[in-house]
């Protein structure tokens, strides 16, 4: 959470790097359209992998999910908040952790001698609108009390961060910050994350507006999100197992029996379909976390 630039550049070990590329969810990748100019930077390995080397053991499952997500986004259209947040929360639940999407508005600040507002992602003065094409002017994050974290996986859609990410992919990684595990305390919290020496992000949580963005997930998008969450969990589980070959993760099964059972082969994740469901068109979704463009 703290200094993203410094932590994102830690040495990555080869057993972790070999875990990519991630599984592709059938029907979840679509070609880039000419009107989609907002692209993630291209990187061979996500900076998120480096954090798995020496992060606290209890944070490894969350970081694994986010690392797989970020790796899949290399060179792709910038992820959109609603499907991405639902996929992250769904993946964490597959692995045995609590997580839920929550509507929010994020604000970026450039700090110099005074605090100057830079830009906002989402809306807070009025409810978000979902347009007929499935885009929205709202924003969404993930609250995971299992890790006491708020996760914003699509803050990079902000033009300031996206421009910085073209020079340093660390700026495109999911942002996470410690928050209360009690729901009431979380919803009244005012989390702030330090992105670099001068750039900060803060969030206003808007839980009453979460369901207003449900139309983004209607129809084929719902299936893509469900399969994306399962694919994300599947690859995160492989990555956690690989990290376990490189460092001691024996405390994880005690912390999360479901994850322990999955790692030991006593339980299994549902199988991904070998072929796309018949109702999915090839151009539905994107790899595997991005299924629609979001207007801002």
Instruction: Check residue 131 and give its pLDDT.
Output: 86
Taking the C-alpha atoms of residue 175 and residue 197, their distance in angstroms, rounded to an integer, is 15
Residues 6+ apart with CB under 8 A from 13: 53, 246
Report the Cα 241 to chain-centroid distance in Å. Answer: 20
From residue 291, give the alpha-carbon distance in Å to each of 88, 206, 221, 236: 14, 23, 7, 20
Q: Are 262 and 238 contacting, i.e. CB atoms less than 8 angstroms apart?
A: no
Instruction: Check residue 278 and give its pLDDT.
Output: 64
- What the block records as the tokens of 278 is 């018949």
- What the block records as the tokens of 289 is 């976390």
Instruction: Check residue 280 and give its pLDDT.
Output: 59
Mean pLDDT of each 10-residue bin along the chain, 296 residues long: 40 41 41 57 95 96 98 90 96 98 95 82 94 88 98 94 94 97 96 94 97 92 93 97 95 96 97 75 40 34
Residues 6+ apart with CB under 8 A from 115: 109
Instruction: Check residue 37 and give its pLDDT.
Output: 59
Summarize the chain as % helix, strand, coil (round to 5).
40, 15, 45
Q: Is the dihedral of CA 54, 55, 56, 58 positive or negative?
A: negative
3-state SS assignment for residue 220: helix
Q: Are 236 and 95 contacting, i.e. CB atoms less than 8 angstroms apart?
A: yes
Taking the C-alpha atoms of residue 117 and residue 144, their distance in angstroms, rounded to an integer, is 27
Instruction: Check residue 279 and give its pLDDT.
Output: 60
């Amino acid at each position: 959470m703290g200094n993203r630039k410094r932590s994102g550049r830690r040495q990555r070990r080869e057993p972790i790097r070999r875990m990519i590329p991630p599984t592709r969810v059938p029907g979840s990748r679509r070609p880039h359209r000419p009107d989609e100019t907002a692209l993630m930077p291209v990187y061979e390995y996500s900076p998120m992998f480096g954090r798995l080397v020496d992060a606290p053991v209890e944070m490894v499952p969350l970081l694994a999910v986010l690392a797989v997500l970020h790796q899949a986004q290399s060179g792709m259209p910038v992820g959109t908040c609603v499907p991405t947040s639902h996929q992250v929360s769904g993946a964490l639940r597959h692995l045995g952790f609590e997580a839920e999407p929550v509507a929010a508005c994020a604000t970026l600040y450039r700090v110099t001698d005074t605090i100057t507002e830079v830009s906002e992602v989402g809306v807070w003065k009025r409810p978000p609108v979902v347009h007929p094409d499935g885009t929205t002017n709202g924003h969404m994050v993930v609250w995971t009390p299992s890790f006491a974290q708020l996760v914003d996986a699509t803050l990079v859609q902000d033009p300031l961060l996206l421009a910085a990410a073209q020079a340093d992919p660390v700026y495109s990684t999911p942002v996470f910050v410690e928050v209360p595990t009690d729901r009431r305390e979380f919803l009244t919290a005012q989390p702030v994350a330090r992105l670099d020496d001068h750039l900060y992000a803060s969030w206003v949580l808007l839980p009453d507006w979460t369901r207003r963005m449900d139309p983004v997930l209607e129809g084929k998008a719902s299936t893509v999100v469900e399969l994306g969450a399962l694919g994300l969990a599947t690859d995160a589980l492989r990555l956690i197992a690989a990290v376990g070959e490189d460092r001691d993760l024996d405390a994880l099964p005690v912390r999360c029996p479901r994850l322990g059972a999955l790692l030991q082969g006593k339980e299994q994740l549902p199988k991904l379909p070998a072929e796309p469901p018949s109702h999915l068109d090839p151009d539905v979704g994107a790899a595997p976390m991005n299924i629609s463009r979001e207007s801002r």
